[in-house]
Amino acid sequence: MDAIVRTAEQIVVIEAARAYVAGTEGRVVDTANPGQLVGHLMSAEVLLMRIAEAFAEPATTA
């Protein structure tokens, strides 16, 4: 059952990343606006952390 939940979590996080990228395509990022840049970087960082967590090897219990 854990493998099924893990696979579902991986799919959800990948779809979230795809949706984020699709939402930013074609938009011009104002490089002179530090608030906008920081917002994009923070969003991307959160997505990357979620991807890393979803694809990390599960902890083994002995």
Please write the tens of the pLDDT for every residue from 4-56: 999 999 999 999 999 998 988 888 888 899 999 999 899 999 999 999 999 99
pTM: 0.75
Rounded alpha-carbon distances, angstroms, from residue 28 to 36, 38, 46: 11, 15, 21
Token pair belonging to 27: 């938009």
pLDDT digits (tens, 9 = 90+) for 48-61: 999 999 999 877 77
pLDDT at residue 62 in the model: 64
Q: HSE, CB side, 13 Å, CA atoms: give it for residue 14.
A: 7
pLDDT at position 30: 85
Q: How many angstroms separate the Cα of 10 from the Cα of each of 25, 27, 29, 44, 58?
A: 23, 27, 28, 16, 13
